[in-house]
Chain A
Amino acid sequence: MVYILATILLIVGLFGVFTQKNLIKIIISVSIIESAVNVFLILVGYRSGGIAPLMTEQHSQAEVFALHSVDPLPQAMILTSIVISLSILALMVAISLRLYHVYGTYDITEIRKARLNSKS
């Protein structure tokens, strides 16, 4: 059930990427896709009643701890993915600001029209 919900979130983002005209809306859709994928991968690694992969003084037996903790591997990978998504967002915002600077609009169909006009 929760997997399906995460997939629906991904599909909403994908739909936005393909159907929106505005560049900012497209950036927003990409970030929705990113958070959907992150949530899905964390859902896969969850154990019912699991504790966070942080050892404390009470849980210092490694073998016992391994039976109660959630999966640390997807968490580490998603931690890098979140920061990458921020830098990619900055790159996308920079590109769209430059496009706005040149063409005066965020609408990609108008940008394409302007490019075609300038070429011919």
Chain B
Amino acid sequence: MKNRSLIIERVSRWMTPFIFLYGVYVVLYGHLSPGGGFPGGVILSSAFILILLAKGKQQALKNLPYGLAKKLDAIGALAFISVALLGFVFTGVFFANFLQQLWPGEPFHILNAGTIILNNIAIGLKVCASLFLVLLFLSILRISFGKKGQMQSMEDR
């Protein structure tokens, strides 16, 4: 971790905004072109994972703090459920596409598919935050080798 390469640091600094922008594009245009919430979320989290791998834990936590990531994860799940409940409120069917039924947009346009775009954003947030959390915890975890005493005490129980 100490002998970090200068090239990797510089290149990751230049690449990260573009990866992030591509993730946002994939999430927002999921109903018009290939993509959607799942790959977009993984691309968004891979931008943060690149920072985590190239510059270390502190820099990554400066970009996406731990509490914010946990909140984003919860907000994504909550938004997905609440869009479904709104469909129940407006039309009486759970997961109904109420926006498209009430105000249909014109095809081949971004403000078209009603709740699909909202669901895409929710799933993208959720997948991004949860993947980043997993990789963050994996990088925090240190496997201890020499703690024989701990192992002994666990086996004694």
Complex: A in contact with B (CB within 8 Å): yes
Partner of A104, one of B33, B38, B151: B151
B67 interface residue, CB < 8 Å from A?
A: no
Residues of chain A contacted by B141 (CB below 8 angstroms): 97
Judging by beta carbons under 8 Å apart, are A79 and B36 in contact? yes
Complex contact A101–B144 (CB within 8 A): yes
What is the bound-complex CA distance between A102 and B127, given in angstroms?
A: 30
Asked whether any CB of chain B lies closer than 8 Å to the CB of A60, the reply is yes
CA distance A54 to B34 in the complex (A): 8
Is residue B145 within 8 Å, beta carbon to beta carbon, of the partner chain? yes
Chain B contact residue count (CB 8 A cutoff): 19
Q: Quick one: which of A52, A60, A82, A93 contacts B107, CB cutoff 8 A?
A: A60
- A54-B151 in contact (CB<8A): no
Interface size class of A (residues with CB under 8 A): 20 to 34
A90 touches B134 (CB 8 A): yes
Residue-by-residue, is B94-134 near A (CB-CB < 8 Å gives 1, otherwise 0)? 00000000000001100000000000000000010011001
Which B residues have a C-beta under 8 Å from some C-beta of A? Answer: 33-34, 36, 38, 42, 107-108, 127, 130-131, 134, 138, 141, 143-145, 151, 154-155
Which residues of A are in contact with B by a Cβ distance under 8 Å?
52, 54-57, 60, 79-80, 82-83, 86-87, 90, 93-94, 97, 100-104, 114, 117-118
